[in-house]
Amino acid sequence: MSDLLDVFSAEGLLARAIPGYRVRPQQQEMACRIGEAMAGNKVFVAEAGTGTGKTFAYLVPALLSGGKVIISTGTKTLQDQLFQRDLPMVRDALGVGVSIALLKGRANYVCPYHLARGLGEGRLASRVEAGHLRTIARFAKTTRSGDKAELGAVPEDSGAWALATSTRDNCLGQECPNVQECFVLNARREALAADLVVVNHHLFFADVMLRDEGLGELLPACNAVIFDEAHQLPEVAGLFFGESLGTAQLLELARDSRNEGLTLAKDYTPLQEAARGLDKAARDLRLTVKAENARLPYERLAADAEFGRGLETVSAALTELGRHLEAQAERGEGLVNCLRRVAEVGLRLRRWQPAAAPLPSSLGTLTGNGKAQTPSPLAPLPGGEGNGQPAADGESGTEMVRWVEVFSHALSLNMTPLSVAEIFQRQLQGHPRAWIFTSATLAVGRDFGHYCGELGLGEADIGQWGSPFDYAAHGLLYCPQGMPAPNTPDYNDGVAAAAWPAIRASGGRAFVLCTSLKAMRHIHQTLAARIAEEGLEMPLLLQGEGSRSELLERFRRLGNAVLVASQSFWEGVDVRGEALSLVVIDKLPFAPPDDPVLSARIEHLRRQGKNPFFDYQLPRAVISMKQGAGRLIRDEKDRGVLMVCDPRLVEKTYGKAIWRSLPPMRRTREIAEVASFFNPDEQESG
């Protein structure tokens, strides 16, 4: 590994090519361990604190390995940063001729076929979105990649994108008349030919389960897979190793069937009526559940007669739509595609509605191009149907929990594995290759047992490197005295009251991170009243007032703002400098015990003779807490206060496990020390 050490040395290739490069022993050691793991086709789990330089630590051995490498990141934003900035920089510094490619899911690429149809049909909600569609059309004529991330002029949430991109469901594949100019297929071809491919976790697991996004051919040929932001993998894997059916899918199927009918079978009005019937049935199903923004155990709804009737109505409407699509399918590939989707949705629906009306005879096997439907490995055994118990995977015995998530205007039926370890372990077997997992937050103290257990990594090699930042000099951890118990009604008022003196001392420049949307809104209102009452010019921002990137840009630009946010700002957010000098965390981030998936996992662990709190809930809270704390100090010059309002951090025995996992800052329970930290001169003169 001497070659790697040389690359990272003070006179090495990186130092000569990259301005401001500094030698970090942690980075050197981490790169050498990753290089050894790649050479030996090992599983290696590495935690590297903020500032270690873990990106370069895995990029250098990846680029020098001589094999094909897949790098998977946590988000598309990180994916773009890696491909457009970090990778070219390191590759140029090393002077290696490694070809690189970027691969995203199909919804990220302009679809020439759907774009042309969208322009011709004019089905947009506003003139603004119609203008967006014309902008996309101009972009499509000049872009080489078709990646919508390159078109900043059209917001990511514009309705125009739905008409200009394809989904797995409505893509016509090789039957598409625009297949020769398909940006998705071009991206896949480039990925197949490249030495190093950058993907994201959602794409990786979608492909592992669906074999749909191009990695099915990539994975067998690659010599190493590197997961950055690997702490996200258990949750993402749970999404894709499970199964979901939502009203949004039903509405999209009804919309596409209606549009295909208008194009290919305009004279056949029963198809339009059937599509409208499915649309209404899906919307009515949502209305049968009175809750909003909630996760509910399926057995609670299974006993509700209105919900049961709603499912039966959806099933009948789906059958009716399938009957009319089957009658007209020979008139065009788009209708055949919708017919295939009716079959797939019908099969999923049967897992939730045992008494569902039978599908038309040909729909039981048709999935597209006349191919037979392969039963899903996640089909529950009969004993698990609707009885409130976890269903079992008919193939592997993996237990699944059934639950329902309700949004403002949508509803989804979900089956989630209680453990992804066995399923994920199967992905590691087969062709010998290295598997590298890295993040700033994987361990509880020095123990990786929880993380490795969640993914079935067995006796993986592990490495842990602390941050090179001087937390003792630059940081202060403050836990206020006299806080009420977190489960009391006045707790959010207590958080706002305790946080306000710290926010005032820091002159704003603060994140207030909340563990629930309800707490976020309450604390925001209370702080707004305090700011107005004292007549301060301190901008107050709230998650949801704009996209995350827009809010972060405003926060950085304002310089003295307070941003009140929830879970989506706990990680993947990088604000350097004085604009962020205080991070307030309202509660230790334990998942609510009435969450249906958590409740089922707790019971599952109890049956195994384990302690659910210490074996699962506490480790998850520690990792989440480390992510939230990691927002504060992002480079060696940053300084600030981390304020944790939850009294359990210091009053409960288990709080010590969280305390010890946080950066080694000075600790205090006195607000005077916080004021002194931010205004040392005033304190001295006073």
Q: What is the pLDDT of residues 464-498, one digit of tens each?
A: 999 888 889 999 999 999 999 999 999 999 999 99
CB 23 within 8 A of CB 10: yes
**Separation CA 179–CA 464 (nearest Å):** 47
Q: Are residues 537 and 514 in the same domain?
A: yes
Task: Let me know whether 341 and 316 are in one domain.
Answer: yes
Instruction: Give the global pTM.
Output: 0.86
| In a shared domain, residues 169 and 230 | no
pLDDT of residue 240: 84
pLDDT of residue 2: 60
Domain that holds residue 650: 471-685
Most confident listed range (74-83, 244-253, 427-436): 244-253
pLDDT at 446 over 50: yes
Question: Which of the listed residues 417, 433, 453 is the one where a domain comes to its end?
Answer: 417
| Last-in-domain residue among 402, 437, 465 | 465
CA distance 537 to 552: 19
**Domain stop point among 465, 493, 526:** 465
Q: What angle do CA 598, 601, 607 make, to 5 degrees?
A: 145
Q: Which pLDDT score, from 0 to 100, does residue 147 have?
A: 93
Q: Is residue 12 part of a domain?
A: yes
- Same structural domain for residues 411 and 428? no
Given pLDDT bands bounded at 50, 70 and 90, which one contains residue 361? very low
**Residue 675 is assigned to a structural domain of this protein:** yes
Taking only the tens place, the pLDDT of each residue in 247-299 is: 999 999 998 899 889 888 989 999 999 999 999 999 999 999 998 888 999 98
Domain presence at residue 459: yes
129 near 159, Cβ under 8 Å? yes
pLDDT at 65: 93
Number of Cβ within a 10 Å radius of residue 21: 17
> Does 380 or 31 have the greater pLDDT score?
31
How many C-beta atoms surround the C-beta of residue 24 within 10 A?
Answer: 18
In a domain, residue 31? The reply is: yes
Residues 673 and 568 placed together within one structural domain of the fold: yes
Give yes or no for residue 401 having a pLDDT over 50. yes
On whether both 622 and 478 belong to a single domain, the answer is yes
Q: Is residue 188 in a domain?
A: no
pLDDT, position 374: 30
- Residue 182 CB-density burial (10 A; 0-12 exposed, 13-18 middle, 19+ buried): buried
CATH number at residue 75: 3.40.50.300
Q: Is the pLDDT reported for residue 367 higher than 70?
A: no
585 and 654 both lie in a single domain: yes
- Domain presence at residue 483: yes
**Residue 577, phi-psi category: left (phi > 0), alpha (psi -120 to 50), beta (remainder):** left
CA–CA distance, 251 with 257 (Å, rounded to integer): 10
- Residues in Cβ contact with 539 at an 8 Å cutoff, skipping those fewer than 6 apart: 508, 554, 558, 560, 561, 562
Domain count, the chain: 4
Q: Residue 205 — φ and ψ, nearest 5°?
A: -75, -30
Same domain? 429 vs 540: no
Considering the domain boundaries, does residue 187 fall inside one?
no
8 Å CB contact between 168 and 175: no
Question: Are 662 and 525 in a shared domain?
Answer: yes
Do 642 and 530 sit in the same domain of this protein?
yes
CA distance 194 to 568: 33
Q: Are residues 127 and 233 in the same domain?
A: no
Helix (H, G, I), strand (E, B) or coil at 67: coil
Say yes or no to pLDDT of 103 above 60: yes
State yes or no: pLDDT of 209 exceeds 70: no
Same domain, 207 and 227: yes
DSSP count for the chain of H helices, then E strands: 31, 19
> Taking Cα atoms as reference points, which of 461, 438, 436, 430 lies closest to residue 221?
430
Whether 198 is covered by a domain: the verdict is: yes
- Give the span between the Cα atoms of 602 and 613, in whole angstroms: 8
pLDDT of residue 682: 59
Secondary structure of 329-372 in HEC code, one letter for each residue? HHHCHHHHHHHHHHHHHHHHHHCCCCCCCCCCHHHHCECCCCCE
Q: Residues 335, 122, 185, CA angle at the centre, nearest 5°? A: 55
What are the pLDDT digits (tens) for 495-520?
999 999 999 999 999 999 999 889 99
The DSSP element (H or E) to which 102 belongs, if any, is strand 100-102
Mean pLDDT over all residues of the chain? 87
Spacing of C-alpha 537 from chain mean position? 35
